[in-house]
Amino acid sequence: MAEKKLLLWLSQLACNANAHSLLNHPSLEEFQKSFDWLYHPLLPSLSSLDEILDNYEEMECDILLIDGALCAGLSKKGVRMRDMLEHFAKSCSHILTVGTCATYGGIFSAGGEDRSGLHFDGEKRLDGFSDFFEKSISLPGCPVHPEIVVSVITALAQGGSLPLDSYRRPKEYYGYTVHDGCSRNEYFEYKIDRHDFGHLEGCMFYEHGCRGTYSAGSCNMILWNGVSSKTRVGEPCHGCTEADFPTRGLWRTEKHMGIPARLPLGVSKRAYLSLAGVAKAFRIDRFHRRILEDEE
Amino acid sequence: MSRTLRLIEKVEGEVSLSYRVENGRLRAVSTSFFSSRGIEKILRNREAMDALVINPRVCGICGHAHLMATVRALESAMGNPKLTAKAEALRELTLTLEMIQNHFKWFFLTIAPLLGMKSPIQAAIEPSRTAASMIAVVAGQYPHNSYAIPGGVVCEPTIREKSILLYSLEKLIGYFTRYIVDTDFRSIEECEKIENILRMDGYLPQAMRLIMERGWERLGRSRDRFIVFGENGIFRQGKSMATRYYPSLRPDYIEESFVPESGANSVRYRGRHYETGPLARAMVAKRPLIREAHRRYGDSLLSRIMARVCEIASLLHYCRELIAGIDLSQESYIEPGEFPQSGVGWGVVEAARGSLIHRVEIEEGLIADYSIITPTQWNLVASDAEEGILHGALEGESADAPIELIFKSFDVCSVCTTH
């Protein structure tokens, strides 16, 4: 990279976990050598937020990172956040919505009026910032995985193509489901519907509300903090990367006539029932024993 | 007379601090917050278990404490179902690790720059990343997991997880020695003499020397009233007025009231404001080094900084005991039975910044009311400025004093305050 690109992180209604999560990237120190932060809420930055609020009209950045749900009435020190976002959005080359709140509205959109993501309110497309849609990239997740932020910024700085889906999510990370790579996959494939919390065995899809088979994400491929994932340890995926996060009844599977109401991404009910019927016709002993059980 | 308005930033969001300067002294100190996300409102009419997923999202740096307060509140509403020692130990361990990552980040990202220290960014990042991955190895990810549920924890750690925990903890201890104080971390807990620390190498002694060279060691003194609600293997419940200690507190003596000009709720115990956090914990638990700092400098910014950073040593020691005590053969989870259709529950934990309290009210199986009281509310928001804790620390202080340092010695969390 010829010159250091200038990054700007602007928080809206946020919890700051996206910012903290970035600090967990294993190569953050090396990444930092190639980029400068005009402002980041934790890391050393070229400017204070105070200076930016006072002089933002004279400032620019290369990549704008927006964190947190947008809120029409939000201002800091009398500066409307909306005006400031619009200013930087005009001149930057790319906008990243970092996390589910900035992308779709997320949890906090239900806490007050006029809250949403940058381009989406849940699944609904918004007009407010549509001039910048083509330069925006959506990185949902609550929080977003730090590897995704670092890889995408690096790819943008180096040029080249970044395949995106209709929500403008990079396909390298969101072209999979959270189910891919889950250590409990066999219990799903063979339709073993028993799952007890506190055990290595079992799949949470059938009883405990796991949304991994229909949530876009790569948690189980790139793993969290280099070591694990929610579903690997035995917590259902709550679909935190999705436009409808948080749904209601996050720990139980909604069913119609005993069949899970939501089926794996793109799988028809007929296909699902046919496969389930075949799988259930067999009893495979291994899936009914504890993995750590001593053998004779 | 005109008011000075200062933006205090990098406190998990921002806080607006305002005061008047009269004859070179700060008067009429007040704080205000720019927004509230309305978490308590979001929780209303949801299934109780949903709170386990929503509440960690109160905060990016202490969300795990919010999870623990939530699960305790739910369990309390269920009549406190039995947990195994393993489940208890795992919960304590991950909660303690979150405090460790918080303290490292606070000292090296927040305090060090204000003192002009040239500590490397690795001093903040290496330990916090290690602590985060230790949480993730049993809880799936950090930040934002919900692995503690009524009845225990969802995971079943094996020798893989236990050995990762064991050796990662030794790494954390190594970071303490390399970056905080170059000595056996256990000796900090027993140390009684401030001079012994000052003579050592490391960024803590350096910070203490810098503060003393500038004559700041007694700045930021406040009401000398401390409160600690949480209790566990290292923290003791109680309140302390200067050095007098009163055990046992009742959560129903806590009063919350909205302060319109602040945009946040103040919180008092039987009508009085108290300081919460590591200095309060050290005073209530009578830790010798911090009591010595308090004897010399009072409840000042130096005592606060020492209390928070030295607490890391106790937390590391606690982690070592917890890991060693985990019996992998025990159950992780015991089915707690059905949720009651109605009930009230309290969840109290010590979070990095102090006592965190959740209260849930369940009606017809749904959350009818949820109330979250965070440490920064105790320390920063006052219904009566004459009594407030931050107000006491800044009121009458010279306008030339390191105001931001005094402010940040409380380890302020903006997002938690308004939640």
The model's pLDDT over A130-172, given as tens digits with 9 standing for 90+, comes to 999 999 999 999 999 999 999 999 999 999 899 999 999 999 9
Domain B3-418 has CATH 1.10.8.60: no
Angle at B211 between CA B209 and CA B215, to 5 degrees: 110
**In Å, what is the CA distance from B96 to each residue of B64, B102, B166, B233?**
10, 10, 15, 11
Cross-chain residue pair B140–A224, CB shorter than 8 Å: yes
Q: Which of B39, B140, B144 sits opposite A111 (nearest CB)?
A: B39
Cross-chain residue pair A18–B60, CB shorter than 8 Å: yes
Q: Would you say B39 and B21 are in contact if contact means Cβ atoms under 8 Å apart?
A: no
CATH number at residue A196: 4.10.480.10
Which residue, A124, A141, A171, sits at the end of a domain?
A171
Alpha-carbon gap, residue A47 to A276, rounded angstroms:
58
* Residue A275 belongs to some domain of the structure: yes
Count CA atoms within 13 Å of residue B101 on its CB side.
28
Any A CB within 8 A of B111 CB: no
A62-82 pLDDT tens trace:
999 999 999 999 999 999 999
Q: Which residues contact A61 (CB under 8 A, 6 or more apart)?
A: A6, A7, A8, A38, A88, A91, A92
Question: Is the domain of A67 the same as that of A134?
Answer: yes
Is the pLDDT at A1 greater than 50? The verdict is no
Is the pLDDT at B385 greater than 80? The verdict is no
A3-42 pLDDT tens trace:
799 999 999 999 999 999 999 999 999 999 999 999 999 9
Query: B residues 55-84 near A, CB within 8 Å?
Result: 57-61, 63
Residue B23's region, left for phi above 0, alpha for psi from -120 to 50, else beta, is left
Q: Could you check whether the bond before residue B157 is cis, i.e. omega within 30 degrees of 0?
A: no
Alpha-carbon gap, residue A295 to B355, rounded angstroms:
48
Q: How far is B33 from chain A (nearest CA, A)?
A: 9
Cβ-based neighbour number of residue A3 at 10 Å: 9
Is the pLDDT at B259 greater than 70? The verdict is yes
Which residue, A171, A192, A227, sits at the end of a domain?
A171
**In Å, what is the CA distance from B297 to each residue of A291, B226, B312, B411?**
58, 16, 21, 19
Any A CB within 8 A of B162 CB: no
User: Which of B156, B162, B171, B415 is the best substitution to test chain A (most A C-beta atoms within 10 A)?
Assistant: B156
Q: In chain A, which residues have their Cβ closer than 8 Å to the Cβ of B164?
A: 227
Structural domain span for residue A113: 5-171
Question: Is the domain of A217 the same as that of A233?
Answer: yes
Q: How far is B323 from chain A (nearest CA, A)?
A: 18
Q: How far is B377 from chain A (nearest CA, A)?
A: 16
Residue B348 DSSP SS3: strand
Please give the ipTM for the structure prediction.
Answer: 0.97
Closest-approach residue (CA) in chain B for A68: B37
Mean pLDDT of B226-253: 93
* Residue A294 belongs to some domain of the structure: no
Question: Is the domain of A17 the same as that of A156?
Answer: yes
Phi, psi of B2 (to 5 degrees): -80, 155
Q: In chain A, which residues have their Cβ closer than 8 Å to the Cβ of B151?
A: 197
Q: How far is A231 from chain B (nearest CA, A)?
A: 7
Closest-approach residue (CA) in chain A for B121: A29
Strand residues in chain A grouped as ranges (E)? 5-11, 35-39, 63-67, 70-71, 75-76, 79-80, 94-98, 115-116, 120-121, 124-125, 136-139, 255-256, 259-260
Any A CB within 8 A of B50 CB: yes
Domain ranges of chain B: 3-418
Alpha-carbon gap, residue B216 to B212, rounded angstroms:
6
Cβ-based neighbour number of residue B210 at 10 Å: 15
Is the pLDDT at A176 greater than 60? The verdict is yes
B18-33 pLDDT tens trace:
999 999 999 999 999 9
Name the token pair of A198. Answer: 């506190």
Question: Is the domain of A22 the same as that of A98?
Answer: yes
Q: Would you say B205 and B197 are in contact if contact means Cβ atoms under 8 Å apart?
A: yes
Taking Cα atoms as reference points, which of A201, A117, A17 lies closest to residue B55? A17
Question: Is the domain of A180 the same as that of A166?
Answer: no
Mean pLDDT of B208-217: 98
Question: Is the domain of A199 the same as that of A153?
Answer: no
Q: How far is CA B398 from the centre of its chain?
A: 28
Which residue, A122, A138, A171, sits at the end of a domain?
A171
Is the pLDDT at B128 greater than 70? The verdict is yes
Q: In chain A, which residues have their Cβ closer than 8 Å to the Cβ of B141?
A: 219, 224-225, 228-230
Query: B residues 174-233 near A, CB within 8 Å?
Result: none
List the end-to-end C-alpha distance of chain A, in Å, as a whole number: 60
B63-109 pLDDT tens trace:
999 999 999 999 999 999 999 999 999 999 999 999 999 999 999 99
Q: In chain B, which residues have their Cβ closer than 8 Å to the Cβ of A199?
A: 156, 332-333
Alpha-carbon gap, residue B120 to B30, rounded angstroms:
34
Q: Which residues contact A83 (CB under 8 A, 6 or more apart)?
A: none
Cross-chain residue pair A111–B36, CB shorter than 8 Å: yes
Angle at A85 between CA A83 and CA A88, to 5 degrees: 110
pLDDT at A2: 53
pLDDT at B243: 79
Query: B residues 340-359 near A, CB within 8 Å?
Result: none
Cross-chain residue pair A24–B129, CB shorter than 8 Å: yes
Alpha-carbon gap, residue B192 to B282, rounded angstroms:
13
Q: Which residues contact B12 (CB under 8 A, 6 or more apart)?
A: A16, A41, B59, B60, B61, B412, B413, B414, B415, B416
Q: How far is A281 from chain B (nearest CA, A)?
A: 30
Share of chain B above pLDDT 70, in %: 100
Question: Is the domain of A251 the same as that of A197?
Answer: yes
Query: Lowest mean pLDDT: which of A1-5, B134-138, B193-197, B375-379?
Result: A1-5
Name the token pair of B151. Answer: 């009845």
User: Total domain count for chain A?
Assistant: 2
Q: In chain A, which residues have their Cβ closer than 8 Å to the Cβ of B70?
A: none
Question: Is the domain of A135 the same as that of A91?
Answer: yes
Share of chain B above pLDDT 90, in %: 95
Question: Is the domain of A86 the same as that of A23?
Answer: yes
Q: Would you say A139 and A168 are in contact if contact means Cβ atoms under 8 Å apart?
A: no
- β-strand partners of A125: A120
Question: Is the domain of A112 the same as that of A225?
Answer: no
